[in-house]
Chains A and B, each alone.
Chain A
Amino acid sequence: MFLHIERGSSTPVSRQIAEQIAALCAAGSLKAGDRLPSVRQLAQELTVNQNTVLRVYERLAADGLLDMRHGEGTFVAGNASRRRFEKQRRQFIDELGLVLRRGLMLGIAPEEVRQLCDEALEANAELAPTASDREGG
């Protein structure tokens, strides 16, 4: 599991870790049943306080993304479905709003912004779920 922490970022370290783990799950790099590094291990790897890592694991477990089994370790939850990413989804929408706002403030016309969005979507077409992947829309 490869995570990158940006120090001094305005995004708190805990959120950076949580988002990246959620993203790895969403992208399928982490699959149901995969074992995550122990709190100690990940804390040392990232040079981050152990309590921070523990809180991230606990929060993701409460969101249903991870499964913390006492004495065994932390695993990706078996039923981590798309619905579990509601929080990440909302965050993405917020961030997208900020990015669009910046573009408009730079004087980029709304039509051009739309076109840029389409181009970006096109470039990442292979990531887009097909209709059958979606759970009831």
Chain B
Amino acid sequence: MTEPVIWLHNVRKSFGKQQVLRGMNLTVERGQIFALLGRNGAGKTTAIRLLMGLIQRDGGSIAVLGSDPQQEPLQVRAAVGFLAEDQQMFGWMTIAELLGFMAPFYPTWDRALADRYVKEFDLPRGQRVKHLSKGQNVRLGLVLALAHRPELVILDDPALGLDPIMRKEFNRDLIAHLQGEGATVLYSSHLLYEVEPIADTVAILHEGVIIKQAATESLRSDVKQFVLSAEDYAEHRELLAAIDVQRQRAEVAATVENAPATLDRLAAEGIRPRVIDLNLDDIFAAYVAGHTDAPAGARALGPVSVSA
């Protein structure tokens, strides 16, 4: 099947005067582990809530597993494993009671899997939900999201509230259970160094639009930092089309998007910059906080980085 599992086209959403999404486009293919990255306030949670049909969009189109979540919210919610950022559950139930209560809503609920997660996540079955810690609350939300073996899982910052050991277990589960069984996963995260080995594709949401969507691996091979002399930079500024520029005395460190081809074209001009590999953190920072010192003083230069 070639139909994407998630599809957003020109989606717009405002809260009052604040425009949160300004024409967001996104395509998630079946079987992918897809990471949605963005700073706080970039619109990640709003986008996820729209996908689940929890809020109404102002414009644009959305399809989740072939349904419009705005028209068929129940259908979408039954088919998708969902973890909200601030998931509220019935506080007066114990964990065991809540699991028993949720199971009948899902024909595919896997009791053994739910029990295994409860054990692995170290959740006290007899404890009332309202007395759980923040971390335990997130983990319980994950159990509820995964126990019905959904073909699509949408997780709003699942790593929040998990300690490093549990995050590792959780990441392993993403690969062993979800990817291994062909499920599609869309999750938002701040922990870029953890996203990199896990995600097939990453998308960067910035100021309400997706400014970059790419396979994680090609992002790493395409986006690099070139260090070259200020004169060479000035002469080839347009060819480089840098997304971030840092100056240090006579040298310029320019982050370019299409490194291999750009390198070839510079070589044809006899210029061989020093090439620096960037990790996902660096790449993310270049996209969302890059300074390009556009000519004619259009934009003030940011603080010069001491590294480089």
Q: Does B127 contact A (CB under 8 A)?
A: no
Give every chain B residue within 8 A of A5 (Cβ-Cβ). 197
Give every chain A residue within 8 A of B280 (Cβ-Cβ). 8
* Contact between chains at A49 and B278 (CB < 8 Å): no
Q: Quick one: closest B residue to A9, CB to CB?
A: B279
In chain B between 237 and 285, which residues have their CB closer than 8 angstroms to a CB of chain A?
A: 276-282
Counting from the closest, the 3 A-B pairs by CB-CB distance are: A8-B193, A10-B277, A48-B197
In chain A between 1 and 35, which residues have their CB closer than 8 angstroms to a CB of chain B?
A: 5, 7-14
Report how many residues on chain A are interfacial, defined by Cβ distance under 8 Å: 20
Report how many residues on chain B are interfacial, defined by Cβ distance under 8 Å: 27
Chain A interface (Cβ within 8 Å of chain B)?
5, 7-14, 40, 43-44, 46-52, 55
Given known pairs A10-B279, A12-B221, the reply for A50 and B180 (CB within 8 Å) is yes
> What is the total of A-B residue contacts with beta carbons within 8 Å?
58
Separation in Å of the B220 CB from the closest CB of chain A? 4
Q: Give the docked Cα–Cα distance between A128 and B73 (Å).
A: 66
Q: Give the docked Cα–Cα distance between A9 and B280 (Å).
A: 9
Q: Does B296 contact A (CB under 8 A)?
A: no
Separation in Å of the B140 CB from the closest CB of chain A? 23
State the main secondary structure of chain B at its contact with A: helix
Among the listed A8, A14, A47, A55, which residue makes an inter-chain contact with B175, where contact means beta carbons less than 8 Å apart?
Answer: A47
Separation in Å of the B249 CB from the closest CB of chain A? 14
* Contact between chains at A48 and B279 (CB < 8 Å): no
Separation in Å of the A6 CB from the closest CB of chain B? 9
Q: Does B179 contact A (CB under 8 A)?
A: yes
Q: Give the docked Cα–Cα distance between A10 and B277 (Å).
A: 5
Give every chain A residue within 8 A of B171 (Cβ-Cβ). 47
